Structure 1
Amino acid sequence: MRRLHFPAGAAVCMVTAGLLPCGAAYPAGFALNEMSAAAIGNAFAGVGATADNASTIYYNPAGLSRMSGQQFTVGGAAIRPSIDFRNGGSVTATGARLSGGNGGDAGSWSAVPALYYATDVMPALRFGIGLQSAFGLKTEYDNGWVGRYQALKSELQTVNLNPTLAYAVNERLSVGAGISAQYAKVSLSRAIDFGTICAGALGVARCAPAGLLPQSRDGKVKLDGDDWAFGFNLGMLYMPTPTTRFGLAYRSSIHHTLSGGEARYEKPAGLPALLASNPAFANNGVTAALDLPETLNFSAYMELDPKWALLGDINWTRWSRFDELRVKFANGSPDSVVREAWRNTTRIGAGLNYRYNDAWTLRTGLSYERSPVKDAFRTPSIPDAGRTILAFGLQYKPTPQSAWDLGFAHVFIKDASINRADLPLNGRLIGTYSNDVNILGLQYSHAF
């Protein structure tokens, strides 16, 4: 019965291989950057130097020094990815054709809310606090799709509470720092080919009478887990002139240990007792590490004249932290390990603002970022590829103390091939992904 041992690790591991996908994540990888509708309108260019509302708490806390009194900003982004797979000859471990369709559109609408408040502590010192979601995903394929043995549904949600302080060293230089208390929750699932498992373990003659033939009697495994973890962010803002600003901001990595979770198995009716009672398919506690990467951002903002302003930035993310996905089991089974081998990425962006009058400002921006996912390691839960972001936005100020911002961005994602065989049981998924994303952000800011 030695052949029955591998599904225990395999089933859980291949579900957790979707732990870090891009379903609702639109900077490269599985990060979210939609913390401000104004930033969306500039394709996130210059986010660490703009500092014109309280969302700077997230992008660069030193930017709070440009304000006084109390500020309140509330907003959100509606994000709609389109994730379309085209099968290119996917096969089982024996070389037979994998049955099933292309999975439908694996993307769906997601909401990313954000909330900020800032106030004076003393003339040179300001306090701010923000609530946002810095990482997230939501992908869901049709149950009978060709890649069901690698991924069905993958969902990651995070909530980040970020209190900060900003200090004005002098009229030109400010610094800021904050703490991030972050909650992460994961829910994942994939199908299990019990027909192939039965035929391989007990033989076709014993399994065929119960209809347990390859790809004919699927089960399912679902996994969930959550965790609280902590990090920090630092920022600096330098203003050589009243119309020019340079920002440098750093956000630390955050290490989550998704504990207290469980792998839950759904087994088809009529499964032989030897398989139905096997510990490999018993509900089991699991623990998985999730390392969220650090980022470093350099931004610039320059007013060319009273009407026009130019923005730009370079953003570096240390995605190489995601080198492998290791799952530990409460029952003492050996760790299950999947190699990911992600690479670090750099986003480059430029934006332009036009101030029509005191009430109306128009925005646009263009950004590009290479994917951290190498072609050889692409998965159906993370069908990521390089992307270009084209954005437009506007701001309306009905009073000097209040402002509405609207931003829209379209993310052009390169077509990406996949040729993935995580474990022999899951077969080899071969095909091409065609993805894109639409993002719509709205926010309101008020100064007291």
Structure 2
Amino acid sequence: MVNTITKSALATLISAALSTTVQAAGFALANQSGSGAGNAYSGSAVAVDDASVVWFNPAGMTALAAGTHTSAAGHLIAPKADFTDKASRVNPALTGGNLDVAATTLTGTNADGGNPALVPNAYVVRSYGDKLSAGIGVNAPFGLGTEYDEDWIGRYNALESSIQTVNVNPAIAYQVNDKLSVGAGVSAQYLHVELQTAIDSAAACRSIASAANSGALLTQCLARLPALSNAATDSKATISGDDISFGVNAGVLYQATPATRVGASYRSALDHELEGEVEYDIDPSLQPIVTATGITRFNTADATAEANLPASLSVSAAHKVNARLEVMGDVTRTNWSSFESLTVKKVADGSLVTDTRQDWEDVNRYALGANYQYNDRLKVRGGVAFDETPVPSPQLRTPRTPDTDRTWVSAGANYKLKKNMDVDVGYTHIFMDETPIDNVNPDNGYAIRGLYDSSVDIVSAQLNWSF
């Protein structure tokens, strides 16, 4: 863990700039350069346009002209995640096992969980002689930011979810010969997670009375909190934690012919051991019951959790059809099966705070794109991509990550401002099918059932300067 001063500085940086809604499969953030945004990041492991190559394939640093190259980008991500309820329900055990819809239907509103955000990244690459190059990148490769209204119908499964990262990736590259270059780097990644869920105070009160086997206490609960699923009397639980972990990346770039190059890039998994706490905000109607019984279940406590972020492998190719037109393609495999569960435990006694099964699957992303050099100053770009979801079923889909398959359509351009300075712009619309969710929270038995209608719009810009 970082020290308190460093942790505070990183948290401030993340809160200001890197809080975002996920826009790639799972909670990965694909937008790591403004140049790649224009063609849906097709051919990412062979793109050698600017300093962002240090992230996508460090071997490509040797393909840049001699000198120092810098790139700084920003991506405005505007997601939409409209939810329509289809008979979400409270835990039927709270109504004597009654499965009647009228008796168990959750109360609340439909909601849009999406939040617009700005995601930055920056890179520097410098050559050292004819064969050696080095660089460093700072970006946010993972992120999540869903936030629902406090009275939305799925609040007992999720209210707010935030996953924020800062990744620092120095790398080095060596040109073996005229055709082959290799590169490698290390990543230091800071991760901060915050998850908030509403607590049905009426249900919690009845649970306390049942555990105490007290009819008198149950009578008090029914008097104080007569209605289940009442947003006005909800309590809240907030889990937060952070960690720094380290990983490696490596790449190879091969110029097969004067017109064709191929490349591959690998990034290792990062295993975070999060340390933080769980805090409770108890409604005044429930607090006297909690105080009278002396239970410690709702006390603030130190907590730990694991966050196993996936390894990935990209294989790309690019071909110059003629002096103006270049086409490229890309396949990326991401090992999301590392995300098996969301398990949080209290440090003091190892008791579970939450244990939500995920069982995500390994997935592929496929992309095709093209660049067209319109004139000496202007290059235009276009691309499409299909991004598979790692979520295997509606039962394992949660309102924290209501993920589904995604189709990207992108367009962009590069414009040369002067000999050593140019700018990239890009626009992407991500289409998603209407997505069913039928998720039961294992911690409280409440079910969220309905449909998500989601999409994402992304506007990217990047300034490149060489000297």
TM-score normalized with structure 1 length = 0.92
Query: SS of 2:444's equivalent?
Result: helix
Work out which of the residue numbers 84, 91, 100 in structure 1 matches 2:108.
Answer: 100
> Is the CA contact (8 Å cut-off) linking 1:23 and 1:30 kept in structure 2?
no
In structure 2, stretches of 5+ residues that fail to align are 1-18, 93-98, 210-214
- How many Å separate the matches in 2 of 1:324 and 1:153? 18
Q: Deviations over 1:95-131 (max 9, x none)?
A: 411000112x211111111111111223211110110
Provide the C-alpha distance between the structure 1 equivalents of 2:140 and 2:148, rounded to a whole number of angstroms. Answer: 24
2-side partners of 1:125 and 1:244: how far apart?
Answer: 22
Quote the offset at 1:333 in angstroms: 4.1
Q: Which amino acid aligns with 1:415?
A: E
Instruction: Tell me if structure 2 keeps the 8 A contact 1:43–1:366.
Output: yes
Tell me the residue number matched to 2:127.
120
Aligned to 1:444: 463
Q: How far apart are 1:257 and its partner, in Å? A: 0.8
Q: Do the aligned residues in 2 keep the contact of 1:194 with 1:212 (CA within 8 Å)?
A: no
Equivalent pairs, count: 425
Q: Which residue of 2 aligns with 1:183?
A: 190
**Counterpart position of 2:295:** 278
Moved more, 265-274 or 53-62: 265-274
Tell me, in whole angstroms, the C-alpha distance in 2 between the residues paired with 1:424 and 1:63.
48
* Greater Cα offset, 204-213 or 384-393: 204-213
Structure 1 residue 319 and structure 2 residue 336: aligned?
A: yes
Task: Look up the match of 1:213.
Answer: 227
Q: 1:424 deviation in Å?
A: 6.1
- Return the offset for 1:370: 1.3
Query: Do 2:437 and 2:451's aligned partners in 1 also have CA atoms closer than 8 Å?
Result: yes
1:292 matched to 2:290: no
Residue of structure 1 equivalent to 2:95: none
CA distance in 2, matches of 1:367, 1:447: 30
Q: Equivalents in 2 of 1:428, 1:398: separation in Å?
A: 55
The runs of at least 4 aligned residues of structure 1 exceeding 6 Å deviation read none
Structure 1 residues 433 and 55, CA, compared in 2 at 3 Å: closer, same or farther?
Answer: same
SS in 2 for 1:63: helix
**Counterpart in 1 of 2:81?**
83
Give the C-alpha shift of residue 425 in structure 1: 2.2
CA distance in 2, matches of 1:176, 1:33: 21
User: How far apart, CA to CA, are the structure 2 residues paired with 1:398 and 1:23?
Assistant: 31
Listed one character per residue, the Cα deviations across residues 400-434 of structure 1 (whole Å, up to 9, x for unaligned) are 32110001100001211111112262411110111
Q: Partners in 1 of 2:58 and 2:443 — Cα distance?
A: 48
Distance, in Å, in 2 between the alignment partners of 1:144 and 1:177 is 49
Structure-1 residue corresponding to 2:7? none
The Cα offsets for residues 154-191 of structure 1, whole Å up to 9 and x where unpaired, read as 11110000000010001110000000000011122110
The equivalent position to 1:264 in structure 2, one of 256, 271, 279, is 279
Q: 1:197 to 1:241 in 2, by over 3 A?
A: same
Distance 1:183 1:398 in 2: 35
| Residue identity in the other structure for 1:99 | T
- The 2-side partners of 1:272 and 1:338 are apart by 27
Q: State the distance in 1 between where 2:243 and 2:226 align.
A: 38
Distance 1:182 1:257 in 2: 12
Q: Is the 8 A contact 1:150 1:426 kept in 2?
A: no
Matched with 2:58 is: 61
Instruction: Give TM-score scaled by structure 2 length.
Output: 0.88
Instruction: State the AA in 2 paired with 1:234.
Output: A
Q: Indicate the RMSD between aligned Cα atoms, in angstroms.
A: 1.5
Listed one character per residue, the Cα deviations across residues 8-59 of structure 1 (whole Å, up to 9, x for unaligned) are xxxxxxxxxxxxxx96222210001111111111011001101110001000
Q: Which consecutive unaligned segments of at least 5 residues does structure 1 have?
A: 1-21
Partner SS for 2:32 = coil
